[in-house]
């Protein structure tokens, strides 16, 4: 049976806060919050997922430039991003699978 603390933590988590943020607000470990959520019967959300993945507007151009032999850094300068941002965007691209 959940106590008042478990219910408060469950309410914060259900409001959309992350498990880590609830732990920060409650000044406890994330594992403690997880125990409270389980006691309150709240299912946990999958970690590190985006609800609405944002499109990367420069992805097609980055693919084309990479195929032309440019480095990530060169592509980044061309599209106004860092080379690492370009690399990660291309890595996450579902068309690249």
What percent of the chain is modeled with pLDDT above 70?
89
**Rounded to an integer, what distance in angstroms lies between the CA atom of residue 68 and that of residue 83?**
16
What 3-state DSSP class applies to 25?
A: helix
Is the pLDDT at 40 greater than 80, yes or no?
yes
- Tell me, what's the pLDDT at 53? 65
- Tell me, what's the pLDDT at 48? 65
* Mean per-residue pLDDT, 1-27: 93
* Mean per-residue pLDDT, 17-32: 94
Per-residue pLDDT tens over the stretch 41-52: 999 887 765 555
Cα–Cα distance list, 14 to 6, 10, 31 (Å): 12, 6, 17
> Which residues have C-beta within 8 Å of that of residue 76, sequence separation ≥ 6?
82, 83, 84, 85, 86
**Rounded to an integer, what distance in angstroms lies between the CA atom of residue 4 and that of residue 15?**
17
- Tell me, what's the pLDDT at 52? 55
- Tell me, what's the pLDDT at 51? 55
Encoded tokens for 93: 């691209």
């Amino acid at each position: 049976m959940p106590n008042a603390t478990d219910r408060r933590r469950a309410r914060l988590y259900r409001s959309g806060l992350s498990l880590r943020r609830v732990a920060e607000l409650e000044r406890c470990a994330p594992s403690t919050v997880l125990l409270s959520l389980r006691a309150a019967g709240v299912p946990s959300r999958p970690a590190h997922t985006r609800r609405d993945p944002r499109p990367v507007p420069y992805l097609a151009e980055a693919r084309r430039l990479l195929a032309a032999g440019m480095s990530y850094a060169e592509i980044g300068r061309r599209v106004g991003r860092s080379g690492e941002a370009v690399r990660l965007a291309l890595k996450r691209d579902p068309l690249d699978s």
